[in-house]
């Protein structure tokens, strides 16, 4: 069985790595947070000393990091993966980053005989814990087929969508749809509440129709209970939408609705809610309308 390196043990990476251990894979882990490394070591993983050390001891190296600069640093920087990785290894970056960065990093790794896949995920912390993430992959099909089972230990849907960078293009599309969906939920439910209609009854009435969605079912129970614990933080969704806008500008694609929701999220961040779940988008509408969408006691 392949020896896997895992770098990045944050809110998503830690449960993903734990699921690999549960699946029986030999895992070497590294993170700048020593407590997270120790926690995984207690679950059966080996401790890595650095990104280069992890890469030198692994056949497949998975990274799960906050954004493009961190991926560049961990893969290409001092004591990074590129300094320890062996020719023939595979790097799987599961971070949500700019597609352009995925292509740049993959090109540099290719000079060392290393294939990279970009494989961002959707589903947030609950799905990461369950091992039921949606994983969207970009890169060579032959390489994808070799490591598909590894990804399957972390996700219930693992799809190859195209060449390197395609995974992150797909993730940006996902994040646009999710953000606009949650914003629409907020706008609609604040309208209903302000009109004096029970939002829980509105939710139950519409969830089986065309307005029903995974986002509606995931976020409405949290909203009704006033629970904005992440989940997926607003500050991370801001990062994804900024990457989406940057990519849209490069491709001359309009981004009217995305830019509006990004403004809402930036407003929430300014109010000190950056670390709330992105379901907290509704608070922007609640504040403006001076109502709260909550379950009736």
Identify the pLDDT of residue 17: 98
- Given a cut of 80, whether residue 297 has pLDDT beyond it is no
- 194 a catalytic residue: no
**Of residues 3, 103, 112, 171, which has the active-site annotation?**
171
User: Mean pLDDT, to the nearest integer, of 82-97?
Assistant: 97
CA distances from 80 to 1, 70, 77, 84, 109 (A): 24, 11, 5, 7, 11
pLDDT digits (tens, 9 = 90+) for 99-132: 999 999 999 999 999 999 999 999 888 899 999 9
Identify the pLDDT of residue 130: 97
C-alpha 103/C-alpha 239 separation (Å) is 19
Q: Considering the chain, what percentage of its residues have pLDDT values greater than 90? A: 96
HSE, side-chain direction, 13 A CA sphere, residue 291: 21
Identify the pLDDT of residue 249: 96
Identify the pLDDT of residue 197: 98
Identify the pLDDT of residue 236: 92
Identify the pLDDT of residue 1: 62
Q: What domains can you pick out in the chain, each with its CATH number? A: 3-164 (3.40.50.720), 169-289 (1.10.1040.10)
Identify the pLDDT of residue 296: 87
Identify the pLDDT of residue 232: 87
């Amino acid at each position: 069985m392949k020896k896997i390196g895992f770098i990045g043990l944050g809110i998503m990476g830690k449960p993903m790595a734990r699921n690999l251990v549960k699946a029986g894979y030999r895992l070497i882990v590294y993170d700048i947070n020593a407590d997270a490394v120790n926690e995984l070591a207690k679950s059966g993983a080996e401790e890595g000393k650095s990104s280069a050390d992890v890469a030198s001891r692994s056949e497949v190296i998975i990274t799960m990091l906050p954004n493009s600069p961190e991926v560049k640093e961990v893969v290409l920087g001092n004591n990074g993966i590129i300094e320890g990785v062996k020719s023939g290894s595979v790097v799987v970056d599961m971070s949500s980053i700019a597609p352009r960065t995925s292509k740049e990093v993959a090109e540099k790794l290719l000079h060392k005989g290393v294939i990279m896949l970009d494989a961002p995920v959707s589903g947030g912390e609950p799905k990461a814990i369950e091992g039921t993430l949606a994983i969207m992959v970009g890169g060579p099909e032959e390489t994808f087929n070799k490591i598909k089972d590894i990804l399957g230990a972390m996700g219930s849907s693992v799809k190859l969508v195209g060449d390197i960078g395609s995974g992150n293009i797909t993730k940006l599309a996902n994040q646009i749809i999710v953000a606009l969906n949650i914003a629409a939920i907020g706008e609609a439910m604040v309208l209903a509440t302000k009109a004096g209609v029970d939002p829980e009854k509105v939710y139950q009435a519409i969830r089986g129709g065309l307005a029903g969605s995974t986002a509606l079912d995931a976020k409405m129970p949290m909203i009704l209970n006033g629970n904005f614990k992440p989940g997926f933080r607003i500050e991370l969704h801001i990062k994804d939408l900024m990457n989406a806008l940057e990519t849209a500008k490069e491709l001359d694609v309009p981004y009217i609705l995305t830019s509006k929701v990004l403004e809402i999220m930036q407003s929430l961040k300014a109010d000190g809610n950056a670390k709330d779940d992105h379901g907290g988008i509704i608070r922007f509408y609640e504040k403006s309308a001076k109502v709260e969408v909550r379950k009736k006691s």
